[in-house]
Chain A
Amino acid sequence: MQLDCTQTPDLMIVHLRETRLDAAGAIDFKDGMRDLTSADARRVVLDLSRVGFIDSSGLGAVVAVRKFLGPDRPLELAGLTAAVEKVFRLTRMDSVFIIHRNVPADAGSFRDVV
């Protein structure tokens, strides 16, 4: 599971460098997100712009990440492709997450966006 991170003093953007977030990768994704974020207290934005397909197991993993980050820094999402957006919309999870339309070119330009 390829995950890497762009950081600013108050924000971390985690880029998921995979084309699919599915049942075969959901556990690796959760573990990877936990490793990247557990020693940190900054807001987390998950960049999904590379992900062209998500299934309900992948969606469940994103919800699980939101839960372990806790209520004080709810997971934010950015760059949803059409298929991913469709799954979030049909399950009404688009009303639960803060979803940014675009992933910023650099974390600095994103600092004030809520």
Chain B
Amino acid sequence: MFRQMRAAFVMSSDERGAHTCIVIDADPMAVRQALCALFDRLMAGRMSADARDAAQIVLAEALNNIVEHAYAQSPGEIELTIDISARGLNCRIMDAGAPLPGVGVPVGELAPLRPGDDLPEGGFGWHLIRSLSEDLNYRREGERNLLSFRISAQQYPH
């Protein structure tokens, strides 16, 4: 039985690398490969190391949320659009999976850490996204989820 292999992600950029579109299979390994391509090639030398770290953390959390939750029941694709300017990164992420529960972006509050309590192994994702991004917005458009945010080139100590 011969199975045709297909790329885990497809990335296209304009000449200056200012506008990039990536279509990623909803799979953790595809997300890793897309982030590596994005940050090893496109983002190399752009913005400060601190801003690049922040951007990669936010993108990883947003993409992994979609893989784990929106596409928990069915495979699918994620479309990521990134515009790079002197001010930072503008990111838009679209998927055709299940909507976010509730009415909007989760609050992302960390569970309190009390001595003797069982330590949390999850629930960090939205907190990281909220801490490191600006203008975070989510809406449902027909059968699609649309998440957008900005990563400022100017990072402040957290």
Contacts and interface: CB of A to CB of B under 8 A. Distances in A.
A30 to B, nearest CB: 10
Given A20-B32, A60-B124, A87-B128, A55 B158 contact: no
A16 interface: no
Interface residues on A, range: 20 to 34
B20 interface: no
Nearest to A58: B60
B8 to A, nearest CB: 11
A82 B110 CA distance: 21
Interface in B4-62: 28-29, 31-32, 35-36, 49-50, 53-54, 56-57, 60-61
A90 B119 contact: no
Contacts of B28: 22-24, 57
B121 interface: yes
Interface string A10-46: 0000000000101111000000000000000000000
Contacts of A25: 32
A95 B113 contact: yes
Contacts of A98: none
A1 interface: no
B113 A92 contact: yes
Query: Is chain B's binding surface mostly helix, strand, loop or mixed?
Result: helix
Interface residues of B, number: 31
A51 interface: no
A60 B110 contact: no
A63 B120 contact: yes
B29 A24 contact: yes
Contact of B121 (A22, A55, A60, A90): A60
A23 B59 CA distance: 13
Given A55-B64, A91-B128, A95-B113, A86 B158 contact: yes
Nearest to B118: A67
B137 interface: no
A96 B36 CA distance: 29
Interface of B: 28-29, 31-32, 35-36, 49-50, 53-54, 56-57, 60-61, 64, 67-68, 110, 113, 118-122, 124-125, 127-128, 131-132, 158
Interface of A: 20, 22-25, 53, 55-57, 59-61, 63-64, 66-67, 82-83, 86-87, 89-92, 95-96
Given A23-B68, A53-B53, A92-B113, 13 more contacts: A22-B31, A23-B28, A23-B67, A53-B57, A53-B60, A60-B120, A60-B121, A61-B121, A64-B121, A86-B57, A87-B57, A90-B131, A96-B113
